[in-house]
Amino acid sequence: MLITRQVDTSAIAMQREGLILAYSPLRGQEAAQIGSGIALDLARDFAFPTYRELGVAVAMGVDLVGYLASYLGIWHGGLYDPMASRFGSINAVVSGSVLHAVGWAKGAQLSGDGGVAVTYFGDGASSEGEVHEAMNLAGIDKLPVVFFCQNNGWAISLAAERQIAGGTVAGRAAAYGIEGVQIDGNDVIAVLHATRQALARARAGDGPTVIEAMTYRAGPHSTSDDPGRYRSLDDEQKWLSRDPIASFAERLRAEGIADEQFFLAASAEAARAADAVRAGLAALGDRPGEELFDFVFANPTATLQEQKHAWQESTHD
């Protein structure tokens, strides 16, 4: 969680400095992401992220330079290998990753390898039609998929209570005949247990689970957003008092699991990780221009080939 916090903070600074073009912060959601990400079996499960799952990437060991390369605009979806990391490409289409996860889960069901898909989405995305279609199909076929909703209180600037009919995302699961649980998304241990239980249900053939992790986006929706225009400072301060990293550190101290030397070492490690990511991003060069054309269609059209030829001629002038 500390590495996630440090890299997230550094990414915001890099955007302000012009090193990366844009960024979607996740401060406050570290427990939800780390707790669920470390529960996955990297030999057979697969995670389908949105554009805010840096913490899941950290938990799953994804190359963070490759992850943040997506925000440089040099490669869509990140430069890491999704197949090797079991972490899908960054998906900026609201609720798009949910459909992908259900399709993958159907394949896993047919293969019988025990793999489970975990798809991440927010409270705002839960109101998209694709989520309902995905849950319906998953419920009918009892697919091995976990729908992990991070309810961070805001669909950009729209409060969750103004766009979630019925009050909860987890409550909708019953309509599709699947399990639904609402948990404290700021309690990393509670998230870990809930995700493990959902994975076990899916592997046993008992179908999907909707996990609604109640948390809070402490920062802006993106680096182009000003949360002060739609929420109060009092509300932010209330949630900051429940910071997931601070509360877990307090728990570790109280239970005698970690001492101050541990926290100092962990903080130093997190700072080194953030510095390494920054240096790695700064060292990345431009991608070959041909990739603009080579990765559009499996079988390039005549028009695309003509465009590529025209581009090649213009670059040689």
CB 186 within 8 A of CB 242: yes
Give the position of tokens 């979630």: 164
269 CA to centre of own chain? 22
pLDDT, mean of residues 227-246: 91
> At a CB cut-off of 8 Å and minimum separation 6, what does 80 contact?
62, 63, 66, 67, 87
Q: List domains and CATH numbers for the chain.
A: 2-286 (3.40.50.970), 291-317 (no CATH)
> At a CB cut-off of 8 Å and minimum separation 6, what does 70 contact?
76, 77, 78, 79, 90
For residue 31, pLDDT beyond 70: yes
Q: Could you tell me the pTM of the whole model?
A: 0.94
Mean predicted lDDT score pLDDT of the chain: 95
User: What are residue 34's phi and psi, to 5 degrees?
Assistant: -70, -45
Backbone Cα Rg of the chain: 20
For residue 288, pLDDT beyond 90: no
For residue 317, pLDDT beyond 70: no
Name the nearest CA neighbour of 244 among 51, 27, 52.
27
pLDDT, mean of residues 172-183: 97
For residue 292, pLDDT beyond 90: no
pLDDT at 140: 98
Q: 196: which 2 tokens?
A: 């493990």
Give bridge partners of residue 259 from the DSSP assignment.
none
CB 188 within 8 A of CB 1: yes
pLDDT at 245: 97
> Which range has the worst mean pLDDT, 24-28, 36-40, 50-54, 236-240?
236-240
For residue 33, pLDDT beyond 80: yes
CB 135 within 8 A of CB 172: yes
Containing 65, the helix (H) or strand (E) segment is helix 64-68
**How many Cβ atoms sit within 10 Å of the Cβ of residue 47?**
28
